[in-house]
A and B are shown apart, each in its own frame.
Chain A
Amino acid sequence: QKEVEQDPGPLSVPEGAIVSLNCTYSNSAFQYFMWYRQYSRKGPELLMYTYSSGNKEDGRFTAQVDKSSKYISLFIRDSQPSDSATYLCAMSWDGSSNTGKLIFGQGTTLQVKP
């Protein structure tokens, strides 16, 4: 079993739809939760960064973390064709054995159709 599970999709939605992307994890030590967006042939870029449980909103993006359920989500409101990309969740925790290491989900490919 992988430490972080993410449905690879692909997920196809019409423009303007609300998109929900999710990851589950097994390691209760995770404290830092991130969502990255990766366009084809590009490196990942950070979208959202959350410490511990709770919600965080940034424009059309909302990240939720539920540590009790070991579940994180990214919501995209009013989705646009430019949001078409692969979305990766990533996690880490404090500790000398984990310095510099992010654990990534497999990534979900999203296509927003005009």
Chain B
Amino acid sequence: KAGVTQTPRYLIKTRGQQVTLSCSPISGHRSVSWYQQTPGQGLQFLFEYFSETQRNKGNFPGRFSGRQFSNSRSEMNVSTLELGDSALYLCASSFSDPGRETQYFGPGTRLLVL
């Protein structure tokens, strides 16, 4: 069974630009969560989607948004990039209830904002 895939793996952008990251969950998984990982703050929850609906959102500004498609693939978008957005962005998938079930993480997209 293929694991969680994320594209692109690496990205370099400049301040003020926007970026879209993609996540394909494990086949059959309907829940996708996104996390930001930085050396200073660790792993922080961004949002979670299930059946194309956002069920939960973390404490991030509105510049961070996401969506999920009918095939459970998910994208997250960051607009008006800031230097502090440089991080590893991880997505994780689970069957339906990521709090009770195993969440499987992808390799992440490493974003560098210059």
Chain B residues closer than 8 Å to A90, beta-carbon distance? 43
Chain A residues closer than 8 Å to B104, beta-carbon distance? 46
Contact with B along A81-100 (1 / 0, CB 8 A): 00000001010111001111
Q: Are B100 and A100 in contact (CB under 8 A)?
A: no
- A101 partner, pick from B45, B90, B105, beta carbons under 8 A: B45
- How many residues of chain B have a CB within 8 Å of chain A? 28
Contact size range, A? 20 to 34
Q: How far is the CB of A110 from chain B (nearest CB, A)?
A: 16
Q: Are A106 and B42 in contact (CB under 8 A)?
A: yes
Q: Which residues of B come within 8 Å of A, CB atoms? A: 4, 31, 33, 35, 42-45, 47-50, 55-56, 58, 90, 92, 97-100, 102-108
Closest residue of chain B to A51, judged by CB?
Answer: B100
Q: Are B43 and A88 in contact (CB under 8 A)?
A: yes
Closest residue of chain A to B104, judged by CB?
Answer: A46
Q: Which residues of A come within 8 Å of B, CB atoms? A: 32, 36, 41-46, 49, 88, 90, 92-94, 97-107
- A98 partner, pick from B42, B56, B92, beta carbons under 8 A: B56
Chain A residues closer than 8 Å to B103, beta-carbon distance? 46, 102
Q: Are B99 and A99 in contact (CB under 8 A)?
A: yes
Chain B residues closer than 8 Å to A107, beta-carbon distance? 42-43
Q: Are B42 and A43 in contact (CB under 8 A)?
A: no
Given A44-B90, A46-B104, A100-B48, 4 other A-B residues pairs in contact with their CB atoms under 8 A: A43-B90, A92-B99, A94-B99, A99-B55
